[in-house]
């Protein structure tokens, strides 16, 4: 896409699908030529300089990967917290 002078302008989790183990970009309705000025995109995935360049798509992908990694860390922390809370609040029986 970028080699053809096009940018996606809305890379976000719901626009990344997996087909046979490979990531594909979906929802190409906002695809435009590189450098075309616009204010399209999804909040939280738009780079500070705005969409319109290939680097903006990479920024959006980086935000997705960061959020994915943080979600995994958050999930792991929550599991550890639940486990320790359950362990501390469990009644202990001594025989």
* 95 falls within a domain: no
Give me the pLDDT at residue 11, please.
85
Torsion sign, CA atoms 2, 19, 12, 65: negative
Give me the pLDDT at residue 37, please.
66
* 81 falls within a domain: yes
Give me the pLDDT at residue 71, please.
75
61 — phi, psi (to 5°)? -65, -40
Question: Going by C-beta distance under 8 Å and a sequence separation of 6 or more, which residues neighbour residue 24?
Answer: 16, 17, 18
Total domains in the chain come to 1
Residues catalogued as catalytic = 10
- pTM of the model as a whole: 0.63
Domain hosting 73: range is 2-89
CATH number at residue 79: 1.10.510.10
Per-position pLDDT tens, the chain of length 95: 778 888 888 888 888 888 999 988 888 767 777 666 666 778 888 888 776 788 888 899 999 888 888 776 666 666 666 665 655 555 555 55
Query: Contacts by 47-55 with C-beta closer than 8 Å and gap 24+?
Result: 51/7, 51/9, 51/10, 52/7, 52/9, 53/7, 54/2, 54/7
């Amino acid at each position: 896409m970028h080699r053809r002078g096009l940018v996606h302008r809305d890379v976000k989790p719901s626009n990344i699908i997996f087909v046979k183990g490979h990531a594909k970009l979906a929802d190409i309705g906002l695809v435009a030529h590189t450098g075309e000025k616009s204010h399209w995109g999804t909040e939280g995935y738009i780079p500070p300089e705005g969409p319109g360049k290939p680097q903006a798509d990479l920024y959006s992908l980086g935000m997705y990967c960061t959020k994915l990694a943080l979600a995994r860390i958050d999930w792991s922390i929550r599991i550890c917290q639940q486990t320790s809370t359950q362990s501390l609040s469990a009644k202990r029986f001594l025989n």
